Structure 1
Amino acid sequence: MPLNEGHDGFEDELGEALRRTGDGFATEDGRELVAGGLTRGRRRVKRRRATAVISGVAAFAVVGVGGVYAGDLLGSGKGSGKETEGSSVAAPKGEGGTEGDAASVLKANTPAGTWTISDSGALSVAGVYDDGKGAAGVTVGLYRAGKSEEAGAGQVTCPDQAYVPHDACTSDKLPNGDRLMVLQGYEYPDRRTDTKTWRAVLLTKDGFLVDASESNAPGAKDSSVTRTDPPFSPAQLKTLVTASGWRPLLERLPVPPGTKPTAPPVVDGADVRATLRSLLPEGLSVVSGGGQDEFAYVVVNDGKGKSLVQINVQNHMEDVADRLIAGGTKLPDGRLVMVTEEPGEKGGAGVLAWTADTLTPSGFRVVISAYNTGAQHDAATRTKPALTKDQLKTIALSLRWSKFEAK
């Protein structure tokens, strides 16, 4: 979603809200999720990704609320930090909304228990719930996905286990035309702690999102686990996000502002994946695959174990040229190419990444990595990736990618 100039404050506000309501999908960088939907944000994230292919979590905007517009995410007051225990907060009837609206709906649509609300506004709420079986962190955020149902479809599509490990996930279309995803996952993809995060996301047929998450710990990021599972069952999460009380609050969300001329269209992920598969060497079977704009991945097996292969295809990446000049070589046609070998970044023991990174004089970048495991957060399952460094280089330099280059 392109933005008018002067919207850095909006990006900061959205990033802050996502840190409160978006941690449940095991991401360690909420801003990477925001980047999926913000053109200027995407440019900053691309620069941060200069050393590797897009991270597995950021590859799935489904795991956060990327590409949505929330306006004043915390209502007119942005939350005062006041705490209220064991009682509802009255919802005001005036225009615009003030502190407490979301908290009232949250409490009215969850089982009886004690609440400590730490942050509340018209469009989001965060707090700790205790039913006597252990304190649990709970958050709800309201967003506008877009003018059509498909604008937020990725938010209610179950993620691939290769990137977001989870115990269960359902994605359904409800009788009224809304769409619902309920995910039972973890705080971290490598399960370094016992913290679970369960999440329900409702996409209404007219383009609103209600995003609720809960944990089996009272706070985010390494707070001690207090119970085996989060307090609300998947059915109770569904009841929460589909509650009619959210509707008046959703309708307060501002319509996205008008935009200036759009940037060149991003590269279609499905087309990238098809091209990648056509370039794979013989002897590999494709176990699974997926992706999104500018990105695709496949998990392959050559009979020696699964190997994740992922690729980014991006225009306007001139800002990575210095790195490739310093560490790579320049071909006769002016393209830069660099091949690297590095350890994995997602916590899997013994994971190895081989990467071929290429850049044309016009700033068109193709960067591909292969791993010696089927998922970066899992331990290595083979000595080397299924593709050699030369094979990765050949794929990245293929002229078949030129159809995606901005003219």
Structure 2
Amino acid sequence: MPAEENFEGEFALALRRTGDGFTADDGDGLVAGGLARGRRRVVRRRVGTVTGSVLALALVGVGGAYATDTLGGGAEPASVAAAPPAVAGKPSAAPVDADALLGIFRGLLPAEGRLEDAQARGTADPFGPMASGVYDDGQGKAAVSIGFFHASPGDEGFTQCPDKALNAYDACTTEDLPGGRLMIYQGYEYPDRREDTKNWRATLQSDDGLVLDLNTWNAPAQKGAAVSRTDPPFPPAEMKRIVTHTAWAPVLEAVRHQEEGKPEDGASGSPGKSGQAPGRDGSATAAFNGAAVRPTLLSLLPKELTVSDKGGQDEYAYAVVDDGEGKSLVQVNAQPDMRDVEGELFPEGAYETLPDGTKVTVRQQPGEKGGEGVVMWTVDTIRPGGYRVVVSAFNTGVQHEPATRAEPALSLDQLKALATSEKWLKLMKK
């Protein structure tokens, strides 16, 4: 699997954590802008990628005692109850090359198999360090990847099980460990099950935001390859053993060291001392309160609707509503600065312009997650300055399940009023 293809695939997987398959091939404007925006954030933050579902994984190799020859294929496995790396000793944070980190990965994989077509990136790689390959234990070849990165402060979404309303998976568990939290996810590459490829993952996040993410599939490639085995190669206990192994302690320390060395003037894409985040064209823009997207959405829903489920993450939110005629999913994505892709999202002749300069596009189309009879109504808006709010509603409470009603619970006029509400402006912190 070429490194660049692996990067793009893992990036799409990350976005799925946020919005049930928000990938580049979805064709919805809600996805297209988010993917473009996220890709730019990825490069700036030097950690590969963000929901994935899960990330263009950042793996940092280590030198010294953890060189390739030391671990080799005979590294002693740790107990599944081993303390997470966040609480281990504090080793050297010296950067290492791709060969060293690949040696650690090989050494922790079950000895009955071997890693083929292996690739890795060192800590100096601009896309962030990572390792991947095809694991072959004689039961069918399986793609695997692993990496480390540092999550944004307060972002605990990497170890939260996806919402069943958005993602059809077989099992997902979470567990608090000393110094961190572990999620074991057993689901599918595509939530709508358009292919039989399964994705099992173990994600460990330490209390200070360091994330270790292991992904496995039951096919020799993440996408576009025939299924080669019934399940991915590592059961939950084995995945837990790999991600909680103390061999990762120096790796995590290197990631921590890298994060601490980032400039604080906003050059890396994070808010600077002024409290403002840089726009993607380099100009300053007001800081955005992405956490307020969900309460804002709920406050704008028609009062006659009953909310049976709700959720979301930074800049994205959803609610399952019912007006007495069946459940209907409503979702919103608020993106503070989409100027660099505005022409792609709002081509000439495809939108109306409101008196305040806001561009509005309306779309009615079939659902894209495989549910029988599902329709998707979308109102996409962008204000002068690039602030985009896009709202979609469905005639089902779960996109990948059959329609529960003839039309969404919200009309196009209601969706337009929701998307253009002045309340969204309050999320921009001056």
Shorter-chain TM-score bucket reads 0.7 to 0.9
CA RMSD of aligned residues (A): 3.8
Distance in 1, matches of 2:93 and 2:335, equals: 47
2:137 to 107, 111, 131: 131
Secondary structure in 2 aligned to 1:19?
helix
- What is the identity, as a one-letter code, of the residue corresponding to 2:342? V
How far apart, CA to CA, are the structure 2 residues paired with 1:359 and 1:95? Answer: 45
Q: What is the Cα deviation at residue 222 of structure 1?
A: 3.1
Q: Does 1:391 align with 2:397?
A: no
Calculate the TM-score normalised by the size of structure 1: 0.75
Q: Tell me whether 1:297 sits opposite 2:303 in the alignment.
A: no
* CA pair 386-143 structure 1, distance change in 2 beyond 3 A: same
Select 1:323's aligned residue among 324, 329, 346. 346
1:273, 1:290 within 8 Å by CA — same for their partners in 2?
yes
Counterpart for residue 397 of structure 2: 374
User: Which of 187, 199, 202 is residue 201 of structure 2 equivalent to?
Assistant: 199
The CA distance in 1 between the partners of 2:149 and 2:394, in whole Å, is: 36
Conservation of the 8 A alpha-carbon contact between 1:356 and 1:368:
yes
Moved more, 352-361 or 230-239: 352-361
Return the match for 2:229 from 204, 227, 230: 227
- Output aligned runs, 1:195-344, within 5 Å: 195-253=197-255, 255-256=258-259, 257-258=262-263, 259-260=266-267, 261=272, 262-263=277-278, 264=285, 266-318=287-339, 320=342, 323=346, 326-344=349-367
Deviation at 1:36, TM superposition (A): 4.2
Unaligned 5+ segments in structure 2 are 26-31, 64-71, 76-91, 123-128, 279-284
d(CA) in 1 for partners of 2:351 and 2:312? 27
- What is the alpha-carbon distance in structure 2 between the residues aligned to residue 34 and residue 213 of structure 1? 23
Cα displacement (A) at 1:207: 3.2
CA distance in 2, matches of 1:331, 1:214: 48
Q: Partner residue of 2:73?
A: 88
Are the counterparts in 2 of residues 62 and 154 from structure 1 also a CA contact under 8 Å?
no
Percent identity, aligned pairs only?
41
- Secondary structure of 1:183's counterpart equals strand
Name the CA shift for 1:284/1:213 in 2 (closer, same or farther; >3 Å). same
Question: Aligned with 1:276: secondary structure?
Answer: helix
Match of 2:175 in 1: 172
Give a deviation string over 1:174-197, Cα, whole Å, max 9, x none. 0x2111111001011111122111
Among 38, 41, 55, which residue is 1:65 paired with? 55
Normalised by the length of structure 2, the TM-score is 0.71
C-alpha separation between the residues in 2 aligned to 1:226 and 1:374? Answer: 33
Q: Tell me the distance in 1 between the aligned counterparts of 2:10 and 2:55.
A: 12
AA aligned opposite 2:396: T
1:63 match: secondary structure: coil
